[in-house]
Structures are given as C-alpha cells and as structure tokens.
C-alpha cells in the first residue's frame, strides 16, 4: 500500500463551512506542506471554528483528505453569536453558521428569551452561557462579524482607568532632539483623525545630499509596558477598518488627540534621519527620540494638485519652501528603488459612500491612488527599511516583516491571466523583484490593472512577522519592519519599544528572542482574523449595495476558477461576483488541472477572460453577489 495513503494522527484547527460540513486545517511547518481534510457533519457537531483538535486523517485515491476521530485539544474561542431556539421548554442556541452547527444548550442566567432572539453567549466546555441579548434596530450582521472574529469595540475598565494619567503626561523636550524649528508637514486623507507620521527636510548642500526626517508619533511613551492598555492593544493587534465602523487599537483620546501629530502642537516622536545622495542612495541612518511640531496638515488631494499642476493651497504656505525638496527626495528614492525592483503598494480601492441622513451605505466608489500617495509611500517604505537595517546591524531582535518569493504555480496562473488580458509577463518560473517591477510597469494605469493586481497579490502571497530577519520579496527589501504606524498597529509599537530600549542603553538582547517570535505568531493570527473580518464586511456591504442593481449589466474579468463557478471582478464598481458553473450554457464544465479555466465540450472560460454579465441575485448574509452571462 502507498504509505502516503496510510492514516496518521495530526493536530489542526477546525474550520466550519456554512453548509454544515467542515475542514481540519493543518498548517505547514518545515518540510511538511500542511493539508486540508474534510470533516463530515456527524463528526463536526461538538466543535467550533478555531478549535484545536487532534484527529486521524487519511487520503483517498483521488488525493482528497478526510478527518475522523476528532478530540478537543484547545478551545480559544470565548464568545459565540447566534439565535435562540426553543424546544420542549428548553433553550438552545443556533450558532453563527460560520462558527458552529447544530443546537447548543444555552444557560439563560434567568433572562427570559424568545425564539429568534439574537444573543451572544460565553463559551464553556459543553454549554453556552448567555452574555447579552440584542435589541431591535441593531445591525446584527456587524455584531455577528465582531463576535465571529473576536473583535472588540470597547476597552475594559482597567485600561480605561489608565487613560487620564496618560493624558496628563507632557510632551517635554528633556533629552530629545528639538525638531520644532525644522519645516514639517503631515500628509493624509482629509477625513483621517489619527496622524502618526510627519515629513521634514533640509535643503541640499554643496554635495547635493538631502537630509530627510521621517518622524513617527512616540506611542510607546504613552502606552506603558505591561499596562492593561498595552495588553488590550496587543490582543487587538491592529485597527480594524470595517467600512462603516473603525475599531481602534488605542482609545481615541490618545490615538486621535494626545499622541496624534496635530498641527501646531508639540509632540513626542521617534525620528529616523536619512542622508540621501543625488542618486537616491541612503548613505547614513540616524535614529533618535525627538520633539516635533507639525507646521501644516495637508491632504493627499492638496499635495497631488501641487505635484500635478503646481497649484499651492493655503495650508501649504508654511512649508512652501520645503515642498520642492520633498519632491526631489521622493524622486531620488523612486529611482533607487526602481533599480532593485518590486512593486508599488498603492492600488485602486473600492470605498463605500453613506447617506448623510440615515448613515446607511448608499454606493461604491473606486478611488485611485494619486501622485501624493506615491510620494508618501516612498518615504514610509524607505523609513521602514532603514529601521530594519539599523536593528539588524545592532543585533536587536524585532518583528521583521518578511515575504517569500511567489509560488511557481501561482506565477503560472498569473501568466495565463495576463496573456488573456493582452499582456506578456514572461517572468520565468522563479521571477525576480526586477522582473516583477517590469510587469508592474506594463499594467500601471491600464483599464485591466485592478483585476491584474488582484491576481498578482494572490501570486505573491501574504507577508508575516517573524524575529528572523529575511527579505521582503514584493518590496525588494533585504530586511523590513513596520515602524511608521504605532498608533494603528501593535507590531510598530513593539518595534518602537525595541528601538527605545537600545537608545536608552539596553544591550542584553537575546539573539532571535523566542518571546519576540511568540509575539509574531500572535500578531500574525490576530492580523489575519482582522483582515478576514474586513473582507467579509466588504463583501456583505457589496451585496447590500448590489441588491439595488439586480438585473443590471456590467463588464468584468474572470479572476478565479472554481468547481462551483467563475469569480468575476467587475470593472466598475470593483465588486467580485460568482458566475455559477451550472448557469453557463453548453455545459457541463469542469476546472482544468490547475484551475486556470472552466472547460466544456465546446467552450472554455479561462482566467482573465472579459465577460459581459448581469447581477442575478444577492445574498447579504453570505456576502455573495451572483452573476449570470448577459444576453
């Protein structure tokens, strides 16, 4: 018997499917590629999504894995959202269908409940205890999402009690370098309340070199190590942007006010000072604590208007002399980065619009990055990379952001998609960052760019945090950290703390500190959960908006092939919908071996194929837009 087909015992995470079955997900480690094993409904009933279980897995002749004999190892989930079910005078909870199946006994704590009530329950070993019931009028789809992914709106009483003392801490000069006399500007969206980065520059001297200052709000100074506030920030890991709701990592009194780099206010910062030669090479890096005052708060729109047309807005007046030097520095950084390769991180994004009176979502707009976005991105990427190198040189363990090279199979998928869209990547089986940059240059500014970038991002795969310094492929960076958003991301806050420890004299660091790696694992998990929540909320609101467009026709491109159908990204708005296999004429259709096309007896639908489709139906609960071929 083939040994690869022999049953074996593994430990993995449960993933519940809304249709009632599930999968056991065993993550890759070392030489083990990991696997996904089918869990039949009968085996799944006592388990919840994210449960850690041991199980026996076996592989069939067709290569598919199945799991049996599940045994609970750990249950990380603390709360479950669901609806009340009454049966024979007993109360049960029907959990969120993405989290559990069947009916679970519910202890009501003496609260009278009605069938269909939406509630949140505390997870105990075999039962659930009622925590709270939702009143009519609440957006249950949002509440379900928050509980599903363990996201929190409010801060605990212990963390809240620490805030007044932190607001009383002054932004004092002390031993900090005084940068208040250097022209300094912040650039962000006009609606942004949290401002954590600022740019300063000094004119070039006789050698043509520029001194660029990227100053970041010193959140670590106002979030004490080991405090209740830091513990909550660590658990949250990042701000959560749910389209119609933003859940901050830190209380808004700090994040949007006392720490934020508001214009005309003294603020404590960590500054990385870069010396930039005329060819864009960074010849020296200095890092220090500083006291800064923003001279002007500018929006992307205002900066883009100046970059593109030379139009100066009134807010630019205090920094008028500095702006041409910032443009020069950004251009130098762009030239140097172009010589290494990698891709631009800014991209077209879909944003929801909301009714001013009701607050309900009213539409979807495509927002394209401007020249101002590109300018700011170059400074932030340069600062993050410079800090990473600075930490590596001094042997300081930190949270490095790494990205491996792309999977050759996904590169082949991208090749198919691009050729079908009229492009010729020809990046080879193992593309380099420069080859990637050349392809990036091909698609930039074209109508096909949004769909191509969606496939390109999947080909590159995700980035992760680790204490082991390694390259970031997409940025062509030998080492990279997140340093520029400590008010919004805990990883940046942790990097700030490591920097401050070194600057204040600490030297007893452990090489590749295991505590830092454990933090990295936690942040990877929480960041992924937040990203899943953001994507799910995006899809749900897309379905809500597109419900008003059922019957309308749109153009789009096939971005993914599945057995169930084709995923088609509309050109405008940037919404992805499912074109079911069984709705296609001339069937039956089956995916080819690499899932790069749906193949029928007389017709094929490959990746990248342009299609004219109409919205057939929507399912807000599943966040699903179903399409049909037009005509």
Average of per-residue pLDDT across 476-501: 97
Reading phi first (left if > 0) and then psi (alpha if -120 to 50, else beta), residue 445 is in: left
Summarize pLDDT for 61-117 with one digit per residue, the tens: 877 899 999 999 999 899 999 999 999 889 999 999 999 988 899 999 889 999 999
Are 3-74 and 79-138 the same fold in CATH? yes
Going from N- to C-terminal start, the domains of the chain cover 3-74, 79-138, 161-403+463-538, 408-461, 550-629
Structure tokens belonging to residue 119: 């509630």
pLDDT at 497 over 60: yes
Q: Are 551 and 345 in contact (CB under 8 A)?
A: no
- Bridge partners (DSSP) of residue 217 are 269
Phi and psi torsions of 27, nearest 5°: -75, 150
Say what the pLDDT of residue 1 is: 42
In the chain, % of residues over pLDDT 70: 98
Pick the CATH number of 550-629 from 2.40.50.140, 1.20.120.330, 3.40.50.920, 3.30.70.60: 2.40.50.140
Summarize pLDDT for 264-289 with one digit per residue, the tens: 999 999 999 999 999 999 999 999 99
pLDDT at 627 over 50: yes
C-alpha separations of 625 from 75, 242, 382 in Å: 33, 19, 40
pLDDT at 257 over 50: yes
Alpha-carbon gap, residue 156 to 165, rounded angstroms: 16
Mean residue pLDDT across the chain:
91
Q: Which CATH architecture has domain 79-138?
A: Beta Barrel (2.40)
Nearest to 556 by CA among 454, 460, 443, 456: 454
Say what the pLDDT of residue 31 is: 44
Sign for the CA dihedral angle at 78, 84, 90, 95 comes to: negative
Summarize pLDDT for 419-478 with one digit per residue, the tens: 888 888 888 778 888 988 888 888 888 888 877 888 888 888 789 999 999 999 999 999
Q: Hey, how many other C-beta atoms are within 10 angstroms of the C-beta on 180?
A: 15
Say what the pLDDT of residue 136 is: 87
The CATH number assigned to the domain with range 3-74 reads: 2.40.50.140
In the chain, % of residues over pLDDT 90: 67
Alpha-carbon gap, residue 52 to 58, rounded angstroms: 18
Summarize pLDDT for 149-183 with one digit per residue, the tens: 999 989 999 999 999 999 999 999 999 999 999 99
Nearest to 15 by CA among 62, 70, 79, 58: 70
Helices 433-443 and 449-460: crossing angle in degrees, nearest 10, is 160
Summarize pLDDT for 553-590 with one digit per residue, the tens: 999 999 888 888 999 999 889 899 999 999 998 878 98
User: Residue 186: enclosing H or E segment and its boundaries?
Assistant: strand 184-188
Summarize pLDDT for 15-72 with one digit per residue, the tens: 998 888 999 998 765 445 578 899 999 889 899 999 999 999 998 887 789 999 999 9
Please give the DSSP secondary-structure letter assigned to residue 602.
S
Query: Position of tokens 């992924």?
Result: 528
Q: Which of 4-8, 194-198, 314-318, 354-358 has the lowest mean pLDDT?
A: 4-8
Which alpha helices (DSSP H) does 274-421 contain, by range? Answer: 300-309, 323-338, 371-394, 408-420
């Amino acid at each position: 018997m083939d040994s690869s087909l022999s049953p074996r015992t593994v430990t993995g995470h449960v993933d519940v499917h809304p249709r009632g079955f599930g999968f056991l997900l065993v993550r890759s480690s070392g030489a083990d590629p990991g696997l996904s094993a089918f869990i039949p409904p009968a085996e799944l009933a006592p388990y919840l999504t994210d449960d850690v279980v041991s199980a026996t897995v076996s592989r069939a002749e067709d290569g598919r894995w199945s799991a049996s004999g599940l045994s609970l190892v750990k249950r990380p989930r603390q709360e479950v959202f669901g609806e009340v079910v009454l049966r024979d005078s007993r109360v049960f909870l029907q959990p969120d269908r993405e989290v559990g199946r069947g009916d679970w006994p519910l202890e009501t704590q003496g609260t009278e409940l009605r069938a269909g009530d939406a509630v949140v329950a505390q997870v105990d070993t075999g039962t659930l205890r009622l925590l709270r019931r939702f009143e009519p009028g609440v957006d249950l789809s949002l509440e379900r999402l928050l509980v599903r992914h363990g996201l929190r709106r409010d801060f605990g009483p212990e963390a809240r009690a620490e805030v007044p003392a932190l607001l009383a801490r002054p932004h004092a000069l002390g031993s900090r370098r005084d940068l208040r006399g250097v022209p300094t500007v912040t650039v962000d969206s006009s609606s942004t309340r949290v401002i954590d980065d600022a740019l300063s520059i000094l004119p070039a001297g006789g050698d043509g070199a520029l001194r660029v200052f990227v100053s970041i709000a010193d959140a670590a100074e106002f979030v004490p190590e080991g405090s209740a506030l830091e513990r909550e920030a660590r658990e949250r890991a990042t701000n959560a942007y749910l389209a119609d709701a933003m859940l901050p990592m830190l209380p808004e009194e700090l994040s949007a006010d006392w720490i934020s780099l508001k214009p005309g206010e003294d603020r404590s910062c960590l500054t990385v000072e870069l010396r930039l030669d005329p060819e864009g090479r960074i010849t020296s890096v200095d890092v220090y604590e500083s006291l800064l005052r923003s001279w002007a708060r500018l929006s992307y729109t205002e900066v883009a208007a100046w970059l593109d047309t030379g139009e100066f807005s009134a807010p630019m007046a205090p920094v008028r002399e500095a702006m041409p030097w910032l443009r020069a520095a950004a251009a130098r950084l762009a030239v140097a980065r172009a010589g290494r390769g990698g891709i631009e991180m800014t991209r077209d994004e879909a944003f929801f619009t909301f009714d001013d009176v009701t607050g309900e979502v009213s539409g979807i707009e495509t927002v394209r990055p401007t020249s101002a976005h590109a300018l700011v991105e170059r400074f932030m990427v340069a600062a993050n990379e410079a800090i990473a190198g600075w930490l590596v040189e001094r042997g300081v363990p930190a949270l490095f952001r790494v990205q491996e090279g792309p999977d050759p199979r996904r590169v082949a998928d991208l090749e198919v998609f691009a050729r079908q869209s009229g492009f010729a990547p020809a990046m080879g089986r193992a593309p380099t960052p420069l080859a990637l940059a050349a392809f990036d240059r091909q698609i930039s500014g074209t109508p096909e760019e949004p769909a191509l970038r969606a496939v390109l991002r999947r080909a590159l795969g995700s980035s992760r945090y680790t204490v082991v310094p390694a390259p970031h492929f997409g940025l062509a960076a030998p080492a990279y950290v997140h340093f520029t958003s400590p008010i919004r991301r805990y990883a940046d806050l942790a990097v700030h703390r490591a920097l401050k420890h070194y600057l204040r004299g600490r030297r007893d660091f452990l090489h590749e500190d295991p505590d830092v790696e454990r933090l990295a694992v936690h942040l990877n998990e929480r960041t992924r959960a937040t990203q899943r929540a953001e994507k799910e909320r995006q899809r749900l609101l897309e379905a809500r908006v597109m419900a008003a467009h059922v019957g309308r026709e749109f153009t789009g491109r096939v971005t993914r092939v599945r057995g169930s159908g084709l995923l088609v990204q509309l050109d405008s708005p940037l919404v992805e919908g499912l074109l079911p296999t069984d709705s296609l004429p001339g069937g039956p259709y089956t995916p080819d071996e690499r899932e790069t096309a749906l193949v029928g007896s007389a017709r094929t639908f490959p990746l990248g194929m342009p299609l004219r489709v109409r919205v057939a139906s929507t399912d807000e609960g599943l966040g699903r837009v179903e399409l049909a071929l037009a005509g």
